[in-house]
Amino acid sequence: MKILLLLCFILPTVTWLTDFNKAKIIAKEDNKLILLNFSGSDWCGPCIKLKRDYFGSQTFMDMASEKLVLVNADFPRKKKNMSDPSQIKANEALAEIYNKEGGFPLTLLLDADGKVLKKWDGLPFVTVDEWTKEVSAYCNLRK
């Protein structure tokens, strides 16, 4: 039990924002890139797998806590999972700019001004470790 509690304090955690403008401010202040993910959290199988296997991996969380500002634009279908109307509107506005085709999952790596640096349509075709190294390499190039 003591080891588990100790690990909770040592292991980095990541926070997914829903406010894109706030993410841009943080990215500029902290000299980080933005990882924007479009998901259908309650209906899209690949979105659920991406969240669980990639974003939930310790490898990704270690890297992301140091190098990324994370933003999730979620488009659930079940009424109980819907966001408030202002968040739905904000997600739709982001989709108009970055996800006009409506692909899910869609993950974008952006600079602090919102310029797309890299795009992943669907699940990555590589392991979590390989994908995390790829994202990290983009972050290192931007420093």
Number of CB atoms found within 10 A of residue 108's CB: 21
* Burial class (CB within 10 angstroms; exposed 0-12, middle 13-18, buried 19+) of 125: exposed
Percent share of the chain, pLDDT over 90: 86
Q: Edge to edge, what strands does the sheet with 106-110 contain?
A: 16-17, 68-74, 33-39, 106-110, 116-121
Asked if the structure places residue 4 within a domain, the reply is: no
Query: Tell me, what's the pLDDT at 12?
Result: 66
Supply the range of the domain harboring residue 84: 12-141
Asked if the structure places residue 3 within a domain, the reply is: no
Q: What is the CATH number of the domain that holds 120?
A: 3.40.30.10
Q: What is the arithmetic mean of pLDDT over 88-101?
A: 97
Asked if the structure places residue 2 within a domain, the reply is: no
Query: Tell me, what's the pLDDT at 4?
Result: 47
Asked if the structure places residue 94 within a domain, the reply is: yes
Measured distance CA(58)–CA(28) in Å, rounded: 25
Query: Tell me, what's the pLDDT at 87?
Result: 96
Asked if the structure places residue 125 within a domain, the reply is: yes
- Structural domains of the chain, count: 1
The pTM (predicted TM-score) of the whole model is 0.90
Number of alpha carbons in the 13 Å side-chain half-sphere of residue 41: 14
Asked if the structure places residue 104 within a domain, the reply is: yes
Asked if the structure places residue 127 within a domain, the reply is: yes
SS3 labels along 61-73 = HHHHHHHEEEEEE
Which residues 6+ apart lie within 8 Å of 39 measured at CB? 47, 50, 51, 72, 73, 74, 75, 104, 105
Q: What is the arithmetic mean of pLDDT over 20-39?
A: 98
Q: What is the arithmetic mean of pLDDT over 77-102?
A: 95
Asked if the structure places residue 6 within a domain, the reply is: no
Query: Tell me, what's the pLDDT at 8?
Result: 46
Which residues 6+ apart lie within 8 Å of 137 measured at CB? none
Cα separations in angstroms, 137 against 36, 120, 143? 17, 15, 10
